[in-house]
């Protein structure tokens, strides 16, 4: 790890000032991603601004029917929150198995949303696109954990945040504070697809700090379902969060967001269209799952994700409708 300057501010204003006062300063919270990246020289900032001493960043508060979750709130506190468990099970279910107990004690909502991709080419210092001599190492190499959507482009890693998936399904917004003031954007606008090796997959600007996410009043039903290779200490292979605005028994409007399949949290408009105006049954959920993967173009070693995504989407929809048939067997 390269040496860096350290600032431990206690207010958001101080934190922004500390960040903007350096060339390549970064914010540190739980440290579960950043410190390992610094040890591997993937990220070598000249200054680290420690945010856990900024008390206003942590905590969950009620806002007009919805909830505001401070970016510094630890995952263990998200899981323990009764309002989240009751109103936003999609968020709790996606947070439950993130990392390990130690990681959930350290990691924060902001850190989870802004963690860098877990692609092993990126983590080995080959850049976000994993290019060498103008050729993609990912396409010809070991891409078992990479994308199945948007694979015509060069960004083949998958977006790593488990929490972004339910937050986008629930229509949450993110608030960022920088030198020029505050801006609030939909959570999905935190992410972009990098076109070149110099682009980032995050839209947060240098010197900006993510302060909170706000989830609007819950509409209808929501749930998450995920599939993993290992039960503990792993990222999901595929995770799907759905939020269904119901009109009686039928879906008025639904949001279907999938993790692990694209370089951004993947919104499946095809699955959303397939359930519009319909009741969620085994048949409609299966049809929506089929629609979700229709446009998938897997790489050489991740074809299994197509079938997996189908099952995960189907089960997330049925879980939201209260049918957990797979637990009954």
Residue ranges binding another protein (CB under 8 A) = 1-9, 14-15, 17-18, 21, 28, 31-32, 35-36, 38-39, 47-48, 50, 52-53, 76, 99-103, 105-106, 231-233
Shortest separation between residue 251's beta carbon and another protein, angstroms? 34
Measure the CA–CA gap between 235 and 287, rounded to whole angstroms. 27
Name which of 64 and 82 has its Cβ closer to another protein. Answer: 82
Name which of 74 and 310 has its Cβ closer to another protein. Answer: 74
Shortest separation between residue 61's beta carbon and another protein, angstroms? 22
Measure the CA–CA gap between 51 and 230, rounded to whole angstroms. 31
Shortest separation between residue 156's beta carbon and another protein, angstroms? 24
Name which of 100 and 323 has its Cβ closer to another protein. Answer: 100
Structure tokens at 329: 């067997």
Question: For 304, phi and psi rounded to 5 degrees?
Answer: -60, -25
Q: Are 300 and 143 in contact (CB under 8 A)?
A: yes
Name which of 105 and 281 has its Cβ closer to another protein. Answer: 105
Neighbours of 22 (CB within 10 A): 18
Shortest separation between residue 31's beta carbon and another protein, angstroms? 5
Name which of 32 and 68 has its Cβ closer to another protein. Answer: 32
Shortest separation between residue 320's beta carbon and another protein, angstroms? 24
Name which of 48 and 163 has its Cβ closer to another protein. Answer: 48
Measure the CA–CA gap between 198 and 120, rounded to whole angstroms. 18
| DSSP class of 187 | G
Nearest to 269 by CA among 280, 255, 279, 282: 255
Shortest separation between residue 9's beta carbon and another protein, angstroms? 5
Shortest separation between residue 36's beta carbon and another protein, angstroms? 5
List the Cα angle 189/164/219 in 5-degree steps: 90
Residues 6+ apart with CB under 8 A from 117: 128, 157, 158, 159, 160, 201, 263
Q: Are 221 and 213 in contact (CB under 8 A)?
A: no
Name which of 103 and 246 has its Cβ closer to another protein. Answer: 103
Measure the CA–CA gap between 48 and 113, rounded to whole angstroms. 18
Name which of 10 and 61 has its Cβ closer to another protein. Answer: 10
Name which of 28 and 109 has its Cβ closer to another protein. Answer: 28
Q: Are 131 and 137 in contact (CB under 8 A)?
A: yes
Shortest separation between residue 22's beta carbon and another protein, angstroms? 8
Q: Are 255 and 171 in contact (CB under 8 A)?
A: yes
Shortest separation between residue 174's beta carbon and another protein, angstroms? 24
Residues 6+ apart with CB under 8 A from 242: 90, 169, 222, 223, 224, 254, 255, 256, 257, 313, 316, 317, 320
């Amino acid at each position: 790890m390269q040496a860096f300057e350290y600032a431990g501010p206690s207010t958001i204003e101080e934190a922004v000032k500390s960040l903007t006062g350096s060339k390549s300063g970064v914010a540190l919270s739980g440290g579960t991603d950043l410190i390992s990246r610094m040890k591997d020289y993937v990220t070598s900032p000249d200054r680290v601004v420690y945010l856990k001493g900024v008390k206003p960043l942590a905590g969950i508060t009620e806002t007009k029917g919805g909830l505001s979750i401070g970016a510094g709130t630890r995952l263990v506190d998200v899981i323990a929150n009764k309002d989240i468990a009751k109103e936003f099970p999609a968020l709790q279910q996606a947070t439950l198995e993130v990392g390990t107990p130690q990681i959930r004690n350290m990691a924060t909502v902001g850190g989870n949303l802004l963690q860098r991709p877990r692609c092993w080419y990126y983590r080995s210092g080959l850049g976000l696109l994993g290019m060498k001599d103008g050729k993609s190492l990912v396409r010809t190499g070991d891409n078992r954990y990479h994308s199945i959507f948007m694979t015509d482009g060069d960004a083949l890693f998958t977006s790593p945040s488990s929490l972004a998936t339910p937050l986008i399904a629930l229509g949450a917004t993110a608030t960022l504070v920088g030198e020029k003031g505050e801006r609030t954007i939909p959570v999905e606008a935190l992410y972009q697809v990098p076109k070149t090796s110099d682009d980032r997959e995050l839209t947060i600007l240098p010197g900006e700090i993510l302060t909170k996410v706000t989830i609007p009043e819950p509409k209808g039903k929501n749930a998450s379902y995920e599939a993993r290779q290992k039960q503990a200490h792993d990222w999901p292979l595929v995770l799907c969060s759905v939020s269904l605005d119901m009109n009686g028994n039928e879906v008025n409007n639904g949001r279907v967001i999938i993790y692990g399949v694209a370089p951004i949290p993947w919104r499946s408009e095809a699955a959303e269209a397939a359930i519009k105006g319909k009741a969620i049954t085994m048949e409609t959920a299966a049809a929506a799952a089929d629609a979700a993967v229709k446009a998938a173009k897997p790489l050489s070693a991740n074809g299994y994700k197509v079938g997996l995504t189908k099952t995960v989407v189907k089960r997330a929809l049925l879980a939201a409708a209260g049918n957990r048939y797979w637990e009954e067997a």
